[in-house]
Amino acid sequence: LQKSLNETFGADKYSEARKEVLTNMFSRPMQMALYFCTGVLEDEPLFRHYALNVPFYTHFTSPIRRYADIIVHRLLSASLGASSPIKMEKEAIQRQADHCNDRKMASKRVQELSADLFFAIFVRVR
């Protein structure tokens, strides 16, 4: 997609802006990843990563970024025997995951609305 956009929009002064807007619009319909506690879900196909075609998948980044990543690091560390198990019931972990999902969706929505506002101002000025 990116290669196609690069070839289509050429090199005029607005090509980068057009490419950015369309890339954003193309990526919006993609399903957003959700945090969940595997201990409360019995449907293992939900654990799979469609694009990578793997049956079990977890994702995390540096634990300084998001609370969900801290939980994943702690759970992985405990499951590998490198630390003691965390003292949270699976239902409490799921509530934390739900809260993280809610905050992530709200943040995404604000980001989209901000981009829409900026684009509207851009169009009005031009």
Give the whole-angstrom CA distance, residue 43 versus residue 33. Answer: 16
Which tokens hold the place of 19?
């490419």
Name residue 49's beta-bridge partners.
54
3-state secondary structure at position 54: strand
The per-residue pLDDT for range 5-55, each reduced to its tens digit, is 667 777 777 778 877 777 777 766 566 778 888 888 888 777 777 778 888
User: What mean pLDDT is predicted for residues 56-77?
Assistant: 82
The per-residue pLDDT for range 76-90, each reduced to its tens digit, is 899 999 999 888 899
Look at residue 65 in the predicted model and tell me its pLDDT.
74
DSSP per residue, 36-50: --GGG---GGGG-BT
Contact 35, 68 (CB under 8 A): yes
Look at residue 62 in the predicted model and tell me its pLDDT.
77
